[in-house]
């Protein structure tokens, strides 16, 4: 049987993807409302650690770095952001002008 770990609502369209860190200590969720949220998951008292808002389009995917200190998000407009989770700093990357094909995996 499954139980809710985190229950949340977003303004526009819901959560599009979630990813746990390798050790399961943090959870990242990305939403159609262009936000990234970092959680400490818990059955009884989930804790929202951070909320990032820099994307201007629906965020489609999220991935943690192997050291679990960085997070990468990709949005429908082709923009990719790299987030330094502890400092809440982000860097922005523009979409490639190469193949012209759409790719949304982060």
| Order of all β-strands in the sheet with 80-84 | 59-64, 70-75, 80-84, 89-93
Q: How many percent of the chain have pLDDT more than 90? A: 23
**Domain locations in the chain?**
15-93
3-state SS, residue 44: coil
96 pLDDT more than 50: no
d(CA 50, CA 45): 15
Please tell me which residue, 70 or 87, carries the higher pLDDT value.
70
3-state SS, residue 62: strand
Considering the domain 15-93 in this protein, what is its CATH number? 2.40.10
């Amino acid at each position: 049987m499954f139980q809710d770990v985190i229950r949340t609502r977003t303004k526009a369209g819901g959560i599009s993807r979630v990813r746990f860190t390798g050790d399961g200590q943090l959870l990242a969720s990305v939403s159609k409302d262009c936000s990234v949220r970092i959680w400490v998951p818990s059955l009884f008292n989930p804790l929202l650690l951070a909320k990032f808002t820099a994307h201007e389009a629906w965020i489609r995917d999220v991935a943690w770095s192997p050291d679990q200190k960085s997070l990468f998000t990709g949005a429908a407009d082709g923009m990719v952001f790299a987030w330094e989770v502890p400092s809440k700093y982000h860097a922005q990357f523009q979409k490639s002008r190469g193949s012209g094909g759409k790719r949304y995996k982060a």
